[in-house]
Structure 1
Amino acid sequence: MFPHIKQIEPTRQDAPIGDYISDKTEAYFDALQLLERMHRLMLDLVKDEFERLGRNDLTPVQVLILYNLGEAEVSAGELRSRGMYQGSNVSYNLKKLVTMGYVSHERSDMDRRSVRVKLTDEGLEVREIVQQLFLRHAEGLAMSGVLDDPPLEQVNMQNRRIERFWSEQIRYIY
Structure 2
Amino acid sequence: MHSPIGQGARQDYVGRYLDALALVERLHRLLLDVIKDEFERVGVFEINAVQALLLFNIGDNEVTAGELKSRGYYQGSNVSYNLKKLVDLGYMHHQRSEIDRRSVRVRLTDKGHGIRDVVAGLFDRHAEGLRARSILPHEALEDINAALKRVERYWSDQIRYIY
TM norm. shorter chain > 0.5: yes
If each structure's strand is expressed as a fraction of its own residues, which one has the higher value?
1
Q: Distance in 2 between matches of 1:114 and 1:144?
A: 46
> CA contact under 8 A between 1:68 and 1:79: conserved in structure 2?
no
Q: Aligned residue pairs: how many?
A: 161
1:129 paired residue number: 118
Cα RMSD after superposing both structures: 1.9
Please give the alpha-carbon distance, in whole angstroms, between the structure 1 residues aligned to 2:95 and 2:76: 19
Q: Does residue 6 of structure 1 match 2:8?
A: yes
Q: Is the 8 A contact 2:131 2:138 kept in 1?
A: no
**Take 1:123 and 1:97, find their aligned partners in 2: how far apart are those partners?**
8
Is contact 1:104-1:119 (8 Å) kept? yes
Distance 1:31 1:24, change over 3 A: same
Shift of 1:3: 5.6
Q: Aligned equivalents of 1:38 and 1:6: distance in 2? A: 28
1:92 counterpart residue number = 81
Residue 118 of structure 1 aligns to a residue in which SS?
strand
- Contact 1:68–1:83 under 8 Å retained in 2: no
Structure 2 unaligned residues grouped into runs of 5+: none
Q: Which has the higher helix share?
A: 2
Tell me: CA distance 1:60–1:154, structure 2 relative to 1, closer, same or farther (3 Å). Answer: same
Bigger Rg, structure 1 or 2: 1
Query: In structure 1, which of residues 30, 36, 49 is the aligned counterpart of residue 38 of structure 2?
Result: 49
TM-score by length of 1: 0.85
- TM-score normalized by structure 2? 0.91
For the residue of structure 2 that corresponds to 1:146, the secondary structure is coil
Q: Which runs of 4+ in 1 moved over 4 A?
A: 1-4
Whether 1:24 and 2:26 are equivalent positions in the alignment is: no
User: Do the aligned residues in 1 keep the contact of 2:59 with 2:108 (CA within 8 Å)?
Assistant: yes
Range that drifts further, 93-102 or 146-155? 146-155
What do the CA deviations read for 1:14-69 (whole angstroms, capped 9, x no partner)? xxxxxx61x32222111100000000000000000001111110111111111111
| Deviation digits for residues 97-129 of structure 1 (CA, Å, limit 9, x no counterpart) | 000000111111222221111000000000000
1:83 Cα offset (Å): 5.3
Q: Which has the higher contact order (CA 8 A, sep 6+)?
A: 2
Deviation, 1:75, is 0.9
Identity within the alignment, %? 56
Contact 2:51–2:82, Cα closer than 8 Å, also in 1: yes
- Which AA in structure 1 matches 2:75? Q
**What are the superposed Cα offsets for residues 125-172 of structure 1, whole Å, 9 maximum, x if unpaired?**
000000000000000000111222861111101100100111111111
